[in-house]
Amino acid sequence: MNNFPRTVEEITPEWLTQVLRESGAIDSASVGSLTVKTIGDDQGMTADVVRIGLNYDREEPNAPRSVIAKLHRPWGSVDDSALSDVLRKTYEREVRFFKELGSDSGMAVPRLHVAEFDETPAEFILLLEDLSNLRAVDQADDCSLEDA
């Protein structure tokens, strides 16, 4: 599916409905509208990450109320060609991880709704389960075995 949104602004209710149905997240409901909120303060981020709030045209008890979208940064914002190459490989690896390993990796990972990568010009999108209802652990602090 190389026909995927290349920017956050291109993510539409129709596209979300199609992807969520194909992933089994919704059955008969359609996404009627969405809200977008940027995640992170842009420091050290190599991609755009947003939380998308979902409003449906009808009630569906198990339908996600929000999802996380991660997309490549516009290439005009990356000057260094060596860095661009590193980012391309990073994007491809992340998409391949979710598509090929994901929940079979033995690690707890968010549910994947869609993962697409277009090698030229190295654009990607991940649409993942929103885990904001879980407790976060600071990676710089020690943690218990349960948190690990």
74-100: pLDDT as tens digits? 655 555 565 577 778 888 888 888 888
**Strand 31-38 and strand 66-72: pairing?**
unpaired
Kindly state whether residue 30 falls inside one of the protein's structural domains. Answer: yes
Which residue range is the domain that position 103 belongs to? Answer: 8-129
Instruction: Quote the CA–CA distance of 13 and 33 in Å, as a whole number.
Output: 6
53 falls within a domain: yes
Q: What is the pLDDT of residue 78?
A: 53
Calculate what percentage of the chain has a pLDDT beyond 90. Answer: 45
pLDDT at 42: 62
Residue 118 lies in a domain: yes
Residue 38 has a CB neighbour count (10 Å cut-off) of 12
Q: In the predicted model, is pLDDT for residue 19 greater than 60?
A: yes
In whole angstroms, how far apart are CA 13 and each of 9, 22, 102, 133, 136?
11, 14, 25, 23, 29
The neighbouring-strand residues paired with 36 are: 52
Q: Does a structural domain hold residue 1?
A: no
Give one DSSP letter per residue of 6-25, joined into a string.
SSGGG--HHHHHHHHHHTTS
In a domain, 146, yes or no: no
Q: Is residue 85 part of a domain?
A: yes
Q: State both tokens at 32.
A: 């009627």
Is 144 a domain residue? no
Which CATH number is 30's domain given? Answer: 3.30.200.20
Please give the model's pTM, rounded to 2 decimal places.
0.83
Token pair recorded at residue 47: 């991609």
Domain count, the chain: 1
Segment 27-34 mean pLDDT: 97
Asked if 53 contacts 65 with a C-beta cutoff of 8 angstroms, the reply is: yes
Q: Which of 47-61, 75-89, 119-133 has the highest mean pLDDT?
A: 47-61
User: Residues 12, 108, 47, 4: is their CA dihedral positive or negative?
Assistant: negative
**59 or 134, greater pLDDT:** 59
The answer to whether residue 143 is domain-embedded is no
- Which of 56, 55, 52, 45 is closest to 68 using CA atoms? 52
What pLDDT sits at residue 60? 94
